[in-house]
Chains A and B, each alone.
Chain A
Amino acid sequence: MHKLATIVSLWMVIASGHSLAAGSALVPAKQNWSFNGLFGTFDRGALQRGYQVYNEVCAGCHGLRLVAYRNLTEIGLTEQQVKKIAASKTVKDGPNDEGEMYERSGRPSDRFVMPFANKNAARAANNGAYPPDLSLMVKARVGGADYLYGLLTGYQETKKGVEIPEGMYYNKYYPGNLIAMPSPLVEEGIEYPDKTKATVKQMAQDVTVFLSWTAEPEIEQRKRLGIKVLLFLIILTGLLYAIKKRVWSQLHN
């Protein structure tokens, strides 16, 4: 009977198209990303700065479980740099010959170390809210990169008449407006080695570029191949049209 109840209530959700997320989020503005368009590529500088933002700010709460340290060579870091980054992380491994789990320093082949041991630990540390994995975040939200950038820059004091519960924050782009993540970026919160000024906008932009790469690491290869395939197909199709014309003209005579 319990099952019947779930089925019935599920059916009602479907049938009424009931939206569980109330609230009126703004639609984030479209940004001019370098990876948009037919020839889009990533800006290596932005990717590396973005990695720094992730590493120094977001990594405390959010994992990046689909990305391995070795992948960082794709954003322009050298093998040496990647080895060093990996070695600075502590990875749980095992069991060893004695059957014990042990800790070792990371290797480039390891996936990014997760900030929490499990979901419950993550919730416990965040007032019950779960900081989702960011590997695919840009692909997993309507609006993609524009949404992420909007979210990171969309914090504000509450709107008139909106009561903010304990541990919640007002964000104009988040569905429902009340988010459990405090604004993660603060002016000059980190220091970029390339002397770029670490404004909130700059950091939001950089980390969005980085997370667009983690979500779609194939994007550059895809677009490069796409151009070649399209050119080839357009020429081929043109030729086929000419042949078709010629073959059929015999018929009309």
Chain B
Amino acid sequence: MSKTNQTNSVVKWVDDRLPVFTFMQHELHEYPTPKNLNYFWNFGSLAGIVLVTMIVTGIVLSMHYTPHVDYAFDSVERIMRDVNHGWLIRYVHMNGASAFFIIVFIHIFRGLYYGSYKAPRELLWMLGVLILLLMMATAFLGYVLPWGQMSFWGATVITNLFSAIPLIGEPIVTWLWGGFSVDNATLNRFFSLHFLLPFVIVGVVVLHIVALHTHGSNNPVGIDTTGNDDQIPFHPYYTVKDLFGLGVFLVLFSLFVFYAPNYLGHPDNYIPADPLQTPPHIVPEWYFLPFYAILRSITFDIWFLDAKLLGVIAMFASIGLLFILPWLDRSPVRSARFRPIYRQFYWVLVIDCFILGIVGANSPDDPVFSGLDGFQFIHLGMMSTAYYFFHFLILLPLLSVIEKPDPLPASINEPILGGGGNAALAPGKPMEKP
């Protein structure tokens, strides 16, 4: 590890005893990075910045928030009305959660397209999936805190999922609730855990980055870097590119925070929780909709497993699959640019996930197209759920064997300098925005 070239004597003294400056120099400054990364590689650092933003706004919110069933709703309204710029802090936190998921979903689909989960980055990928799970838990817990109708009923529905587990399901639910229904004890522990989990996420993110810096970033061509011609130092090239990306993100984010702060939320959550009145539709936040669709799409028992339990299993399996993805896709080629068949099924999967989201937002027995009563959302949900599992469990292992990849360039540098001499690159071009 090269020593920091700082000349400041205090810095040197510290660095000699605790090499933080050398560390920063190495990991944020010199860190050799492939020179052909496109803008899809911006989303990792963006996610990190949003995570920090969530923690900062969250800590300020919790200075004013009261986790008690009688005061929670009103304390949030106090933040909105009486705390200086409280509305801004809350709207940043609220929309920040949505932004976080958008960013992380793009980040994940980037990985799927360019094969970033393949050796030697399997653990890096698995840590990422773990972060997704922790984020989902955190967001679910946070959504309960304002104690509106959707908070309460969402919590009731989701905790109830555990009652599907045979024999011990019921005791588990009672244990989660800390009582016999979602109540004050539940709200208190949810607040405590909602405060805790983001810091656990920070810990996993650190591991994620350690794993990343061990082998370096993958890149759009998906081949290993071969030497200095392929690489550039992180600073200033990617620091400035990430900052520009951050600027674009902040413009879009501000449009939501200042002009449509409740666009992604549900109006029912501005009604205080009422355990005696079930809302007509219980829908989760948008980022849970595809998973909600999978949960509801299993309507039949298999053997001794009833439909509800199967739905829960399917939902968890849809994420669990991602953990073993590196071993489902055995193709030695990483980037979809050089995988003519996979490239097409990748887009089918993207569309399938959007369809799942739409299904999750609708009532299962409503017709998909008005006038075509026989074809309901539940049917569309079953089909798209089946396809999701088909893609990972059957298609990917099959493609690993039958697909004939296009020829790979000899180095990253070659297609860049070769000036279009490489025909194999052409089909992948649309993914690479300038």
Contacts and interface: CB of A to CB of B under 8 A. Distances in A.
B80 A17 contact: no
Interface residues of B, number: 50
B287 to A, nearest CB: 18
Most buried by B among A21, A215, A229: A229
- Interface centre among A11, A132, A141, by most B CB within 10 Å? A11
Given A7-B160, A140-B268, A19 B363 contact: yes
A66 B296 CA distance: 38
Contacts of B281: 17, 19
B282 interface: yes
A230 B258 contact: yes
A20 B282 CA distance: 11
Interface residues of A, number: 46
B366 A240 contact: no
Interface stretch (A166-174, A202-210, A220-228): A220-228
Given A17-B365, A66-B74, A66-B81, A230 B251 contact: yes
Nearest to B283: A17
Interface in A205-253: 215, 217-218, 222-223, 225-226, 229-230, 233-234, 236-237, 240-241, 243-244, 247-248, 251
A118 interface: no
A5 interface: no
B278 interface: yes
A244 B160 contact: no
B241 interface: yes
Contacts of B366: 17
A233 B237 contact: no
Interface in A20-34: 20-21
A141 B270 CA distance: 9
Given A139-B262, A218-B80, A222-B258, A244 B241 contact: yes
B282 A14 contact: yes
Interface string B145-183: 000000000001100100100000010010000001100
A117 interface: no
A116 B153 CA distance: 27
Interface string B338-381: 00000000000000000000000011111000000000010000
A136 interface: yes
B251 A17 contact: no
A166 to B, nearest CB: 23
A10 B160 contact: yes
Interface in A112-158: 132, 135-136, 139-142, 144
A4 interface: yes
- Interface SS majority for chain B: helix
Interface in B251-276: 251, 254-255, 257-259, 261-262, 267-268, 270-271
Contacts of A18: 363, 365
**Which of B160, B244, B251, B278 has most A Cβ within 10 Å?**
B244
B280 interface: yes
B362 A229 contact: no
Contacts of A11: 160, 308
B156 A10 contact: yes
B254 A229 contact: yes
A251 B237 contact: yes
A11 B153 CA distance: 12
B15 interface: no
A218 B257 CA distance: 12
What secondary structure prevails in chain A residues at the interface with B? helix
A20 B278 contact: yes
B237 A13 contact: no
Contacts of A20: 278, 280
Nearest to B160: A7
Nearest to B74: A66
A101 interface: no
A51 B87 CA distance: 23
Nearest to A137: B270
A204 to B, nearest CB: 20
B237 A248 contact: yes
A216 to B, nearest CB: 8
Contact of A240 (B160, B181, B240): B240
B254 A140 contact: no
Given A10-B157, A15-B299, A237-B251, A217 B81 contact: yes
A16 interface: yes
Interface in B77-91: 77, 80-81, 87-88
A38 interface: yes
B254 A233 contact: yes
B251 A233 contact: yes
Residue of A3, A10, A17, A217 with most partner-chain B CB within 10 A: A17
Interface in B57-83: 74, 77, 80-81
Most buried by B among A71, A144, A230: A230
Given A226-B254, A230-B254, A240-B244, A17 B364 contact: yes
Contacts of A139: 262, 267, 270
Interface in B179-198: 180-181
Interface in A149-202: 175
Contacts of A222: 87-88, 258, 261
A232 B160 CA distance: 47
B364 A16 contact: yes
Contacts of B407: none
19 contacts: A10-B160, A14-B157, A14-B282, A15-B296, A15-B299, A17-B377, A18-B363, A19-B280, A20-B280, A136-B77, A136-B271, A140-B270, A223-B258, A225-B88, A230-B251, A233-B247, A234-B251, A240-B243, A247-B236
Interface of B: 35, 74, 77, 80-81, 87-88, 156-157, 160, 163, 170, 173, 180-181, 232, 236-237, 240-241, 243-244, 247-248, 250-251, 254-255, 257-259, 261-262, 267-268, 270-271, 278, 280-282, 296, 299, 308, 362-366, 377
